[in-house]
Structure 1
């Protein structure tokens, strides 16, 4: 199959290249080569194996590094009610719809950081949307199963049985206390198939409200920003996950906690809304290049008039000045799936260069979500060999395929937009202008119409 690109975005150099032909293997789903259109003088434009995108801009599929496919907007149903009043069957059906909407919006990869009460349903969903014979359309799907949190730090909570975790057995996370339980939780989740481990380091906002309401005497303890795990618990979770080649994401907000996490080798910081300049210095200058996922979208959507958003805007601008390593992850779910591009739009509104944002949403997304097998010296050697071997890679699995770059040997996760990035960046990344979507060599959207 050949794709004709009028303009092609190079996510490494941040340059646009005109009039290119991308040859894709339908057998392996890999990009076989990219060359100038002028070098294919006998191309049959009428062939069904030729996709003409010469009037559009072609780029790697977008990556949302922080989603919750099993949640839908809180404006429709609160987080608490989704957990306690919607069955896992209903939530899974919704997740299937969310996966399709996400893919058709141009997001060919997502990292799901917790089912939020839907137990292990993400692992089953990943099986259904992965591989060449997927049961239902969806993005490349990295899953964290259930976030791990210490007892007493997360909802939902019952007003009647205040000393018990969850409501009728439904918990938003997996609880673990002490070194042994934390190690066991990590091993259980990886054994079940988790691609990532997510540690819930900060108290959940809904739980703040519950605790304040039930105690009735002091709001201060409920609203205190604190590290809920102890240092030895965090260390054993991170070390255990890394032993198995799995990365760790940390839901964390305050500066002291984040500096501790970075020193322990965590891989990504989610939210980070209460960091200070000293913390940003540690984040921006650590040897491991920890990713910060600022999740601007969820803060903007739910609390854009509040102090959190005002502080986050200043924090993001400071991070830009310091060169913090970032990727695009909106915490999509509390706002609608398919509107994932809001994160890119907000980044540019707050001053980020739009080409850099495109890189964070493509190549940066892969560098963020990929396994530890792609890191370090061995990972670098593996990266260099990608372009040398174009056959026999079908069995590595969806989540070990390299993507995020339009380059020989990489997965053909390719999208196109009718929009003009220079004139209207926000329009160009909007789902309505994404006219073409291919994941691993299979076309899911063509001429703006869904094929699935």
Structure 2
């Protein structure tokens, strides 16, 4: 009889552990919209079951208290534009990453990057293109979901889609065939076929390049015809997916918006007319400020001592116009161009370029959850998933506090507690 009794005790222990209740007690709570003092947050399993003043919580004695003194509790951050399979271009330029690093090496790097992102408070991430590594991002997502490696929950785009001849690596004579950073297509039928192929291989969304440089050193130009964009969006939305567009020229942005994409990535050349059209069509804007800031520094720009480069001047201008237009602004830094785990750089630059800290934090939590159709994420609210982080101080006053993530819980599991 001893063995069954022992098994019973184990089962009782596991059942009680599965129903473990934790009460998080910080100095303040940013709930995804507003800041509150004297709030606590109760977690049971992988769900938030209460958020509010402790006086409103019943059965307080049943909770294990976790004090987060001096900290602000908030929803886990939702990174809107990343490339887990890339690493900073000042380490290895993009061409060499695509041409010389195997998919196996890049997958291992991606696992390291995923862990760094999670520990920096990124509990959910859109990965917008494997950049020459096929469907490695799909399998990176799978290993995270199966608990093999730690990382954010992922929304992945697979290889992305470009117009034939527009993407790189480039610079080789016509007799040399090189792997490309995305899948090229031409024509309506081929575009539809590739969208379906990518969805069939596990892409959660489709990324297209609405404009790009046809030759190295040239300014970007529109790539896809309107009918091609329309067809790709129709093929994706029919299957319950959506399309995002790399676009930096007004015409490329316009075609993508009219075609029905859900977010515009980069948008450096955006005008007030274009941003107003985005707002009218309910298309969100992901400015990726930190990537441009990083690449200009890689080229030798000393941002502390030298005037803004032309690219930075234009970026500041387009971001101000976006703010004035009232379009939804997505937090997403194009991380991978710069170091994974330093996602805070985008938040700091959003504020430096004119956004209020609280609005930037909303962008990284509740706004991104809404724009990306992530029900049950992005807020500290009863019934929502327990994706929760804590940072030192008050980031609604000093956005730099987002560098100091001390507590990370994803899906009710604690990955960091300092």
TM-score, normalised to structure 1, is: 0.82
Would you say the 8 A contact 1:419–1:429 is kept in 2?
no
Q: Distance in 2 between matches of 1:61 and 1:343?
A: 16
Question: In the alignment, does 2:39 pair up with 1:20?
Answer: yes
- Cα 1:421/1:401, change in 2 over 3 Å: closer
Q: SS in structure 1 opposite 2:164?
A: coil
Match runs of 1:149-188 below 5 Å: 149-157=162-170, 159-160=172-173, 162=174, 167=178, 170-188=179-197
* Equivalent residue, structure 2, for 1:258: 253
Q: Is contact 1:70–1:91 with CA below 8 Å preserved after alignment?
A: yes
Residue number among 3, 26, 29 corresponding to 1:5 in the alignment? 26
Partner residue of 1:379? none
Aligned residue in 2 for 1:396: none
8 Å contact 2:210–2:255 — kept in the other structure? no
Note closer, same or farther for the CA distance 1:42–1:282 as it changes in structure 2 (3 Å cut).
Answer: closer
Map Cα deviations across residues 356-385 of structure 1 (whole Å, 9 max, x no partner). 110000011112222xxxxxxxxxxxxxxx
Structure 1 counterpart of 2:413: 442
Match of 1:195 among 204, 208, 222: 204
In the aligned structure 1, how far is the partner of 2:111 from the partner of 2:215?
31
Q: CA deviation at 1:306?
A: 2.7
Task: Tell me the SS of whatever aligns to 1:34.
Answer: strand
Task: List runs of 5+ in structure 1 lacking aligned partners.
Answer: 210-221, 371-399, 448-452
Cα pair 2:159 2:183 within 8 Å, conserved: yes
Q: 1:113 to 1:185 in 2, by over 3 A?
A: same
Contact 1:19 1:54 in 2 (8 A): no
Classify the secondary structure of the residue corresponding to 1:223. coil
The match for 2:271 is 276
Q: Determine which of 241, 244, 253 is the counterpart of 1:249.
A: 244
- Kept in 1: contact 2:285–2:330 (CA 8 A): yes
Asked whether the equivalents of residues 7 and 20 of structure 1 are also in contact (C-alpha less than 8 Å), the reply is yes
Query: Equivalents in 2 of 1:6, 1:108: separation in Å?
Result: 22
> Which position in structure 1 is the counterpart of 2:49?
32
Q: Which residue of 1 aligns with 2:14?
A: none
**Distance in 1 separating the partners of 2:69 and 2:38:** 7
Greater displacement, 102-111 / 272-281: 272-281
Aligned equivalent of 2:376, options 384, 402, 405: 402
SS in 2 for 1:443: strand
Secondary structure of residue in 1 paired with 2:349: helix
Aligned Cα root-mean-square deviation (Å): 1.9
Alpha-carbon deviation of 1:423?
Answer: 4.8
- The 2-side partners of 1:316 and 1:255 are apart by 14
Aligned to 1:376: none
Q: Which residue of 2 aligns with 1:213?
A: none
**1:415 lines up with 2:350 in the alignment:** no
- Superposed displacement of residue 96, structure 1: 0.3
Q: 1:422 Cα deviation (Å)? A: 5.2
| Structure 2 residue matching 1:97: 3-state secondary structure | helix
Report the secondary structure of 2:150's partner residue. Answer: coil
Contact 1:106/1:434 (8 A) holds in 2: yes
Contact 2:75 2:365 in 1 (8 A): yes
Q: 2:369: which partner in 1?
A: 366
Pick from 111, 119, 125 the counterpart of residue 96 of structure 1: 111
TM-aligned CA distance change 1:332 to 1:154, over 3 Å: same
**1:320 paired to 2:294:** no
**2:123–2:152 contact (8 Å) kept in structure 1:** yes
For residues 231-264 of structure 1, give each alpha carbon's deviation from its aligned partner in whole angstroms, at most 9, with x where no partner exists: 1111100111010111100001111221222122
The 8 Å contact of residues 386 and 412 in structure 2, kept in 1 or not, is answered as: yes
Question: 1:315-357: CA deviations, max 9, x gaps?
Answer: 2112212212111010100100000111110011111111111
Cα-to-partner distance string for 1:22-50 (whole Å, 9 max, x where unaligned): 22222xx12122232234587459x7x33
* Counterpart-to-counterpart distance in 2, 1:85 and 1:68: 17
Secondary structure at the residue paired with 1:314? helix
Q: How does 1:219-230 map to 2 (within 5 A)?
A: 223-230=218-225
Q: TM-score scaled to structure 2, two decimals?
A: 0.88
> How far does the alpha carbon of each residue in 1:91-119 deviate from its partner, in whole angstroms, 9 at most, with x for none?
11000000000000011111000000111
Q: How many residue pairs get matched?
A: 387
Preserved CA contact (<8 Å) 2:82 2:127: yes
2:246·2:264 contact (CA, 8 Å) conserved in 1? yes
